[in-house]
Chains A and B, each alone.
Chain A
């Protein structure tokens, strides 16, 4: 069985470098199947997670109870920015998640 970052080094590095995401609006670019999203979304006030790869988007796994404050969208950053539905959105943290 594959285990990815079992010691949670990535989450620890984020917390130590950027502090808590408590109450913040977060945009995650390149969210994949939600692997990292699951680690911080509980604390955040609102999360928009973008994943343009259809295969990865289909594999997303987030608790259904989070649907009120986590928006997982099959969009690239450019498509998100151009969409009038999201005009004017601003975020306290933008996370480029292995996607630069």
Chain B
């Protein structure tokens, strides 16, 4: 990861910026959403427990310590994926996020919330994402 950051440094024109978008290591939350309101269902699990995102943070910090970049700005935003149902979300994650696991608890909680009624709503996966704006040094 640090190697990639150093490679990128050589690709930046004078005055250029590196924009690094990657998730924080906060677990993503699964919600039942209806309009503006959301009800928490469960945390999404990852096979490596979000370790890769901590490693990405460490790589950025190391590249800065070694003098390749200065952090110009860090911002956070919510990134959401909306699905009509939990099975649809699961299928999407199998294709796009292979490490992700919808825990059994999520299915149980959703069944409890909905009970015997089919409450309209959608499933939302909400992730906290960071955007680092890095200014190259040297």
Residues from chain B with Cβ under 8 Å of A85 in the complex: none
A1-B84, A2-B83, A10-B129 as given contacts; A90 in contact with B21, CB under 8 Å: no
- Bound CA–CA A8/B29 (angstroms): 19
Closest to B88 in A: A2
**Of A1, A13, A92, A96, the contact of B16 (CB 8 Å cutoff):** A92
Residues from chain A with Cβ under 8 Å of B77 in the complex: 9-10, 12-13
Residues from chain B with Cβ under 8 Å of A73 in the complex: none
Residues from chain A with Cβ under 8 Å of B1 in the complex: 100
A66 within 8 A of partner (CB)? no
Main secondary structure of the interface of A (DSSP, over half): mixed
**Shortest Cβ distance from residue A48 to the other chain B in the assembled complex, whole angstroms:** 10
B101 within 8 A of partner (CB)? no
Q: Is the CB of B80 within 8 A of A92?
A: no
**Of A16, A90, A95, the contact of B75 (CB 8 Å cutoff):** A16
Main secondary structure of the interface of B (DSSP, over half): strand
Count of residues in B whose CB is under 8 Å from the partner chain:
37
**Shortest Cβ distance from residue B17 to the other chain A in the assembled complex, whole angstroms:** 6
- Bound CA–CA A16/B74 (angstroms): 11
Residues from chain A with Cβ under 8 Å of B19 in the complex: 14, 17-18, 93-96
Residues from chain B with Cβ under 8 Å of A12 in the complex: 77
Q: Is the CB of A91 within 8 A of B131?
A: no
Q: Is the CB of B8 within 8 A of A9?
A: no
Residues from chain A with Cβ under 8 Å of B13 in the complex: 25, 90-92
Known pairs A9-B77, A94-B16, A100-B5. 18 more at Cβ < 8 A? A4-B82, A5-B80, A14-B19, A14-B21, A17-B19, A17-B73, A18-B19, A25-B13, A29-B8, A77-B4, A78-B7, A90-B11, A90-B12, A91-B16, A92-B12, A94-B8, A95-B21, A96-B4
Q: List 23 A-B contacts (CB under 8 A).
A: A1-B84, A3-B81, A5-B79, A5-B80, A5-B81, A6-B80, A9-B80, A14-B131, A17-B73, A17-B131, A18-B131, A81-B10, A89-B11, A92-B12, A92-B16, A93-B17, A93-B19, A94-B11, A94-B16, A95-B21, A98-B23, A100-B4, A100-B22
